[in-house]
Amino acid sequence: MNNNLKLERTRANLTQEQLAEKIGVTRQTIGLIEKGKYNPSLQLCLKICIELKVTLNDVFWTHNREEETNEG
């Protein structure tokens, strides 16, 4: 699962450890989500977005507009 979690987390000036503590998961979980090796539940996605003050689209929707243009 591709995502923008690392980008949004660093914009919020949080380390993986800090974000993990705030939402009740391990640092390893945050790292795996950022690498696309773990698909978080919707509940966890919402906790992340609330803490980062961003939308689900900001973090988890990585649709490539260039691909859309090439298809049309």
Report the C-alpha gap between 45 and 67 in whole angstroms: 25
**Domains of the chain as residue ranges with CATH:** 5-60 (1.10.260.40)
10 Å CB burial of residue 48 (0-12, 13-18, 19+) is: buried
Q: What is the mean pLDDT of each run of 10 residues along the chain (72 residues)?
A: 93 99 98 96 98 96 53 51
Amino acid at site 55: T
Q: What is the pLDDT of residue 64?
A: 52
Predicted model pTM: 0.82
Report the C-alpha gap between 26 and 23 in whole angstroms: 9
